[in-house]
Amino acid sequence: MRLYELMVIFPLEEDQHKAGREQLLADLSGNGAEIEKTDEMGDRDLTYEIKKRKRGKYVLFTLKADPAKITVLDRVFKLNSNLLKYLFVRLGD
């Protein structure tokens, strides 16, 4: 298993944020990822408009996951309408 950072931007609306976060955590655990650290970065302005929104809640996750599962998670996250944007970054070995 490798170490990754996952940056996620959630909508500001509390119900969408909560639903998106619950679904994201379920998807991660369902695919064998282990969350090591969660860093709430707060509400921030977006550099450009995403899904007609100008602000979002930023959350940074540090996790361990199998590299093959990252592609699966990428496909699953694309279907989650409660995520504005996300990015996986592999940390050094």
Q: What CATH code is carried by the domain that includes residue 84?
A: 3.30.70.60
Q: Which two tokens stand for residue 49?
A: 């408009």
**Phi, psi dihedral angles at 90 (to 5 degrees):** -80, 130
Domain count of the fold of the chain: 1
Please list the pLDDT of the chain residue by residue as tens digits (93 residues).
Answer: 899 999 999 999 999 999 999 999 999 999 999 999 999 999 999 999 999 999 999 999 999 999 999 999 999 999 988 999 999 999 976
Instruction: Quickly count: other Cβ atoms within 10 Å of residue 6's Cβ.
Output: 22
Q: Which domain holds residue 61?
A: 2-90
pLDDT reported for residue 4:
95
Question: Is residue 67 helix, strand or coil?
Answer: helix
pLDDT reported for residue 92:
77
| Angle (nearest 5°) at CA 46 between 40 and 50 | 110
Q: Which two tokens stand for residue 45?
A: 């302005």
d(CA 64, CA 57): 23
